[in-house]
């Protein structure tokens, strides 16, 4: 096809200087195999790099083009709409197109190109014992060693290899290895029938086990999984070998897709009859899906209002119409129970995508989606890129969650990607939450997106009562413990009745800093300058930095004043656990934080143990705040609401409100009534007060005025730049220069506000100094061009200065 003479290729290099497609010639023989989205191997300067075809043309507007070396795919991994999405991503989030394309593919997909070497001529004459002789020996002994491997082992072989290739002694060819391999299994079939089966048995004579295997396969009459045969008959591969060699049994390799959950779903579960509120929400979503017009809804439903059932039935209706659906949930709530719920409803039609899968598992799930083997994907953030052909519905549950913003390039926000894909596919987007992001609720309020409300709990239970305890009074009354008397009594009551309790701490050891009571010295990380956290394990007292991992021993003498009044303060999960064991003798506590859940599967194990009532108390950080559903929990305690309230971020009040509401939603979801106790030193704060009343609407009314007053989102959008450098002066210089350039670009514009250079909240991280510049503006489209050109210039300058400049468009958290 003549229209495929030239290809535009995005080459996989990080530098923003080469962030544009390059033209390559497509050799005649490859023209049938290249499509938009196909991966190719191309020469790029002295290197060979992987790239993606983003365009095909009859003519190239450049005079000299090199030819494509290799076509890497038979089926292009990227569909044309994904190629389009990639360029939108780089425009929206100002990152390279290579980074965008990479984000769309599972990590296992990335191929590694290597060079195979072959000796062609008579081996060269070499001096025994020389480097050349060694190399020649290696080449002859292990011909599969790649050039890259050889050079990695012996860098000095590089020049000899070059010389021999030039002389024609060695021939190079490229081979490409997929990062993740397809997994195969062996099947066995009996290859002898009737008469020949009888004579085979006879010939095997006294080889009893072999005869048994052969007869078994004969009886089965169809290919059987080798592993199953061997375990069924308690035979070994040694028994099998002669049977295969004699041709009695045939071996066959079959490709399988790994199934990370392997849930036996048996009979599929039926949908529940919907309540009137659920029905109304469902009807509107289903109608939008059927219309095939892009539409977005906020599904604002209190905890326990039955949002999941609405999701499930809306997905079913989408699939019935022959289209596909994407369901996003926060990584942390993607528990086996959650996945099971989908598998039970939809069986094999579901693929699961999350970060704990191995590269191979991810690759397989991705292929199942790409090949059309499944119609539904349930996954964390990146599942929004699922390569479906015709998407009808995308649902984002707990849409306000901060984890829906990617923190590396492309720094996308899942709901924005969903809305873009919605326009591409004519698909419906549902943003579900009990505590929507202020922006989302504002758009619904303004009528820019649809609003579906479910204000009652399905099972008619009342929302739990929330009590706020003023911890300042406790101290005045002489209670120096971390448990107020109400919380203490509440726990005792539950323990007596055999009911369960969840205790919530806002961050792992957040407040457990170390302070000298004589001089006020606080132990800080030498690299990051943030307070170190006290840890105690097996009697060893340590201080650790939560950002860089730095650790030191707990000092017993103050490094500043030499006094011996150094103490650790505050309440980390470990300290609460110790305290619980001290105050409530014989109580069983399960602690869940980053320390106890780092192993694969341990998160789910701990929850299962709590579900089995192996412990009365579940104590944890954020990770227990959402998505969990325990029938026997009747008390939820928040040890301190203050820790999240005083983060230097304008969203702190919103986050605190969301957290407290969600935690409260954990209690009393079932027959037993629930109670929530929130402890705080700032009980009068509006975020705490409205959370106590579980009143989202009034919180919204209050907070939206605050945002309007100081001109923060949703009344503008905000892009943050961070200059990072080991050298403080250089870091500051780049930030200042950026500020000046931005001021020149936007000076006098009413829709733009510049917040000048300031030390970042994490002013020093891993030994590097960080300064922020923040830009507020009305519409991104009206500032994008200027931002891009200023950013590119300064990013290069920052690199030359040995640091870097990062950009976060529509930043959700500025650190």
Q: Are 306 and 459 in contact (CB under 8 A)?
A: no
Q: Are 722 and 805 in contact (CB under 8 A)?
A: yes
Of the residues 299, 328, 525, 676, which one makes contact with Zn ion according to CB under 5 A: 525
Which entry of Zn ion, ligand ADP, none binds 309, CB below 5 to 8 A by partner kind? ligand ADP
User: Is 305 among the residues that bind ligand ADP (CB under 6 A)?
Assistant: yes
Phi, psi for residue 627 in degrees, rounded to 5? 75, -10
User: What is the Cα–Cα distance from 122 to 140, expressed in whole angstroms?
Assistant: 12
User: 466 has which bridge partners?
Assistant: 676
Which entry of Zn ion, ligand ADP, none binds 275, CB below 5 to 8 A by partner kind? ligand ADP
Which entry of Zn ion, ligand ADP, none binds 627, CB below 5 to 8 A by partner kind? none
Of the residues 287, 459, 519, 551, which one makes contact with ligand ADP according to CB under 6 A: 459
Question: Measuring CA to CA, how many Å separate 342 from each of 311, 329, 346, 811?
Answer: 10, 12, 6, 32
# residues near ligand ADP by CB under 6 A: 15
DSSP E strands in 572-684: the ranges are 589-592, 617-620, 633-638, 675-680
Q: Which is nearer to ligand ADP, 106 or 627 (CB)?
A: 627
How many angstroms from the chain centroid is the CA of residue 271?
30
Tell me the closest approach of the beta carbon of residue 567 to Zn ion, in angstroms: 21
User: Is 475 among the residues that bind ligand ADP (CB under 6 A)?
Assistant: no
The alpha helices in 347-470, defined as continuous H runs, are 359-370, 414-425, 438-445
Tell me the closest approach of the beta carbon of residue 404 to ligand ADP, in angstroms: 17
Phi-psi region at 659: left, alpha or beta (left = phi > 0; alpha = psi -120 to 50): alpha
Q: Are 510 and 643 in contact (CB under 8 A)?
A: yes
Helix axes 336-346, 307-320, angle to 10 degrees: 40
Q: Which is nearer to ligand ADP, 42 or 285 (CB)?
A: 285
Tell me the closest approach of the beta carbon of residue 625 to ligand ADP, in angstroms: 13
Question: Measuring CA to CA, how many Å separate 739 from each of 214, 253, 774?
Answer: 79, 62, 9
User: Is 307 among the residues that bind ligand ADP (CB under 6 A)?
Assistant: yes
Provide the token pair at 104.
């769309």
Q: Which is nearer to ligand ADP, 210 or 303 (CB)?
A: 303
**Cα 231–Cα 233–Cα 238 angle in degrees, nearest 5:** 80
User: What is the Cα–Cα distance from 299 to 399, expressed in whole angstroms?
Assistant: 10
Q: Which is nearer to Zn ion, 263 or 548 (CB)?
A: 548
Of the residues 170, 528, 641, 762, which one makes contact with Zn ion according to CB under 5 A: 528
How many angstroms from the chain centroid is the CA of residue 794?
30
User: Is 272 among the residues that bind ligand ADP (CB under 6 A)?
Assistant: yes
Whether residue 525 is annotated as binding a ligand: the answer is yes
Tell me the closest approach of the beta carbon of residue 304 to ligand ADP, in angstroms: 5
Of the residues 303, 313, 512, 533, which one makes contact with ligand ADP according to CB under 6 A: 303
> 798: helix, coil or strand?
helix
Q: Which is nearer to Zn ion, 247 or 559 (CB)?
A: 559
User: Is 694 among the residues that bind ligand ADP (CB under 6 A)?
Assistant: no
Which entry of Zn ion, ligand ADP, none binds 212, CB below 5 to 8 A by partner kind? none
Q: Which is nearer to Zn ion, 269 or 527 (CB)?
A: 527
Of the residues 550, 650, 715, 804, which one makes contact with Zn ion according to CB under 5 A: 550
Whether residue 318 is annotated as binding a ligand: the answer is no
Of the residues 96, 275, 573, 643, which one makes contact with ligand ADP according to CB under 6 A: 275
Phi, psi for residue 376 in degrees, rounded to 5? -135, 135
User: Is 309 among the residues that bind ligand ADP (CB under 6 A)?
Assistant: yes
**Binding window for Zn ion (CB under 5 A); candidates: 539-547, 658-666, 768-776, 793-801:** 539-547
Q: Which is nearer to Zn ion, 349 or 515 (CB)?
A: 515
User: Is 301 among the residues that bind ligand ADP (CB under 6 A)?
Assistant: yes
User: Is 455 among the residues that bind ligand ADP (CB under 6 A)?
Assistant: no
User: Is 313 among the residues that bind ligand ADP (CB under 6 A)?
Assistant: no
Q: Which is nearer to ligand ADP, 278 or 640 (CB)?
A: 278
- Nearest 10 degrees: CA dihedral of 119, 123, 125, 127? 70
Which residues, including other chains, have CB under 8 Å from residue 437's CB and lie 6 or more apart?
A: 399, 400, 654
Q: Are 661 and 692 in contact (CB under 8 A)?
A: no
Whether residue 95 is annotated as binding a ligand: the answer is no
User: Is 306 among the residues that bind ligand ADP (CB under 6 A)?
Assistant: yes
Which entry of Zn ion, ligand ADP, none binds 681, CB below 5 to 8 A by partner kind? none
Q: Which is nearer to ligand ADP, 306 or 422 (CB)?
A: 306
Running DSSP on this structure, what letter comes out for residue 332? G
User: Is 532 among the residues that bind Zn ion (CB under 5 A)?
Assistant: no
User: Is 661 among the residues that bind ligand ADP (CB under 6 A)?
Assistant: no
Question: Measuring CA to CA, how many Å separate 110 from each of 14, 103, 374, 724?
Answer: 15, 11, 22, 29
Which entry of ligand ADP, Zn ion, none binds 278, CB below 5 to 8 A by partner kind? ligand ADP
Which residues, including other chains, have CB under 8 Å from residue 58's CB and lie 6 or more apart?
A: 2, 3, 5, 6
CA atoms within 13 A on the CB side of 568: 24
Whether residue 519 is annotated as binding a ligand: the answer is yes
Strand ranges across the sheet with 465-470: 465-470, 675-680, 633-638, 500-504, 617-620, 589-592
User: Is 57 among the residues that bind Zn ion (CB under 5 A)?
Assistant: no
Which entry of Zn ion, ligand ADP, none binds 303, CB below 5 to 8 A by partner kind? ligand ADP
Which entry of ligand ADP, Zn ion, none binds 106, CB below 5 to 8 A by partner kind? none
User: Is 527 among the residues that bind Zn ion (CB under 5 A)?
Assistant: yes
Whether residue 716 is annotated as binding a ligand: the answer is no
**Binding window for Zn ion (CB under 5 A); candidates: 81-89, 483-491, 519-527, 721-729:** 519-527
Which residues, including other chains, have CB under 8 Å from residue 369's CB and lie 6 or more apart?
A: 351, 377, 386, 387, 388
**Cα 636–Cα 642–Cα 646 angle in degrees, nearest 5:** 145
> 653: helix, coil or strand?
helix
User: Is 212 among the residues that bind Zn ion (CB under 5 A)?
Assistant: no
User: Is 591 among the residues that bind ligand ADP (CB under 6 A)?
Assistant: no
**Binding window for Zn ion (CB under 5 A); candidates: 508-516, 523-531, 700-708, 784-792:** 523-531
User: Is 674 among the residues that bind ligand ADP (CB under 6 A)?
Assistant: no
User: Is 545 among the residues that bind Zn ion (CB under 5 A)?
Assistant: yes
**Binding window for Zn ion (CB under 5 A); candidates: 307-315, 448-456, 543-551, 716-724:** 543-551
Which residues, including other chains, have CB under 8 Å from residue 448's CB and lie 6 or more apart?
A: none
Residue numbers at the binding site for Zn ion (CB under 5 A) = 525, 527-528, 545, 547-548, 550
Residue numbers at the binding site for ligand ADP (CB under 6 A) = 272-275, 278, 301, 303-309, 458-459
Residues making up the annotated binding site for Zn(2+) are 516, 519, 525, 528, 545, 548, 558, 561
Residues making up the annotated binding site are 516, 519, 525, 528, 545, 548, 558, 561
């Amino acid at each position: 096809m003549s229209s495929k003479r030239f290809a535009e290729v995005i080459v996989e290099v990080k530098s923003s200087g080469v962030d544009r497609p390059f033209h390559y010639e497509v050799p005649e023989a490859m023209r049938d195999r290249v499509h938009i989205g196909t991966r190719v191997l191309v020469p790029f300067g002295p290197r060979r790099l992987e790239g993606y075809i983003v365009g095909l043309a009859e003519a190239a507007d450049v005079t000299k083009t090199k030819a494509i070396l290799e076509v890497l795919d038979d089926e292009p991994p990227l569909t044309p709409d994904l190629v389009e999405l990639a360029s939108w991503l780089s425009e929206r989030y100002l990152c390279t197109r290579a980074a965008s394309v990479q984000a769309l593919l599972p990590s296992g997909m990335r191929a590694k190109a290597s060079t195979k070497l072959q000796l062609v001529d008579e081996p060269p004459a070499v001096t025994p014992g020389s480097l050349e002789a060694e190399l020649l020996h290696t080449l002859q002994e292990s011909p599969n060693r790649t050039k890259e491997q050889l050079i990695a082992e012996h860098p000095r072989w590089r020049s000899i290899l070059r010389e021999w290739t030039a002389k024609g002694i060695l021939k190079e060819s490229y081979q490409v290895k997929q990062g993740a391999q397809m997994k195969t299994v062996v099947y066995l079939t009996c290859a002898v029938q009737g008469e020949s089966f009888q004579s085979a048995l006879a010939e095997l004579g006294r080889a009893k086990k072999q005869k048994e295997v052969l007869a078994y396969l004969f009886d089965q009459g169809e290919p059987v999984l080798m592993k199953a045969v061997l375990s069924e008959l308690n035979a070994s591969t040694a028994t099998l070998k002669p049977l295969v060699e004699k041709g009695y049994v045939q071996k066959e390799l079959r490709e399988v897709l790994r199934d990370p959950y392997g849930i036996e779903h048996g009979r599929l579960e039926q949908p529940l009859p919907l309540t009137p509120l659920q029905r109304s929400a469902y009807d509107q979503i289903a109608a939008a899906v059927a219309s095939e017009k892009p539409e977005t809804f906020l599904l604002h439903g209190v905890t326990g209002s039955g949002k999941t059932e609405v999701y499930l039935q809306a997905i079913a209706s989408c699939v019935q119409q022959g289209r596909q659906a994407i369901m996003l949930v926060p990584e942390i709530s993607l528990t086996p129970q959650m996945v099971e719920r989908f598998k039970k409803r939809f069986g094999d039609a579901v693929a699961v995508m999350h970060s704990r899968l191995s590269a191979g598992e991810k690759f397989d799930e991705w292929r199942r989606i790409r090949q059309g083997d499944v119609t539904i994907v349930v996954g964390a953030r990146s599942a929004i890129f699922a390569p479906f052909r015709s998407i009808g519905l995308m649902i984002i549950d707990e849409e306000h969650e901060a984890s829906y913003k990617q923190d590396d390039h492309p720094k996308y926000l899942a709901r924005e990607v969903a809305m873009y894909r919605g326009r591409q596919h004519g698909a419906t987007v549902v943003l579900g939450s009990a505590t929507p992001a202020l922006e989302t609720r504002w758009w619904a309020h303004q009528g820019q997106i649809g609003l579906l409300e479910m204000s009652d709990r399905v099972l008619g239970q009342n929302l739990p009562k929330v009590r706020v305890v003023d911890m300042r009074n406790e101290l005045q009354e002489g209670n120096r413990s971390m448990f107020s008397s109400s919380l203490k009594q509440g726990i005792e009551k539950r323990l007596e009745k055999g009911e369960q309790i969840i205790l919530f701490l806002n961050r792992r050891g957040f407040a457990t800093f170390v302070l000298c009571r004589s001089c006020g010295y606080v132990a800080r990380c030498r690299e990051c300058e943030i307070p170190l956290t006290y840890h105690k394990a097996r009697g060893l007292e340590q201080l650790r930095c939560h950002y860089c991992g730095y650790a030191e021993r707990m000092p017993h003498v103050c490094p500043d004043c030499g006094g011996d009044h150094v103490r650790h303060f505050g309440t980390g999960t470990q300290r609460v656990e110790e305290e619980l064991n001290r105050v409530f003798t014989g109580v069983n506590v399960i602690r869940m934080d980053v320390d106890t859940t780092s192993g694969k599967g341990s998160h789910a194990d701990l929850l299962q143990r709590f579900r089995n009532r192996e412990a009365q108390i579940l104590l944890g950080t954020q990770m227990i705040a959402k998505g969990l559903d325990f029938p026997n929990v009747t008390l939820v305690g928040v040890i301190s609401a203050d820790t999240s309230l005083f983060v230097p971020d304008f969203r702190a009040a919103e986050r605190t409100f969301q957290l407290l509401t969600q935690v409260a939603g954990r209690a009393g979801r079932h027959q037993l009534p629930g109670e929530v106790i929130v402890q705080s030193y700032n009980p009068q704060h509006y975020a705490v007060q409205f959370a106590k009343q579980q009143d989202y609407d009034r919180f919204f009314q209050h907070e939206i005025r605050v945002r309007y007053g100081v001109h923060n989102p949703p009344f503008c959008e905000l892009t943050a730049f961070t200059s990072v450098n080991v050298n403080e002066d250089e870091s500051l210089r780049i930030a200042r220069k950026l500020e000046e350039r931005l001021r020149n670009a936007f000076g006098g514009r009413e829709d733009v506000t510049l917040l000048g250079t300031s030390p970042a909240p994490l002013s020093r991280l891993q030994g590097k100094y960080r300064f922020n510049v923040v830009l507020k503006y009305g519409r991104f489209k009206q500032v994008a061009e200027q931002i891009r050109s200023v950013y590119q210039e300064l990013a290069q300058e920052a690199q030359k200065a040995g640091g870097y400049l990062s950009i976060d468009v529509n930043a959700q958290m500025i650190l």
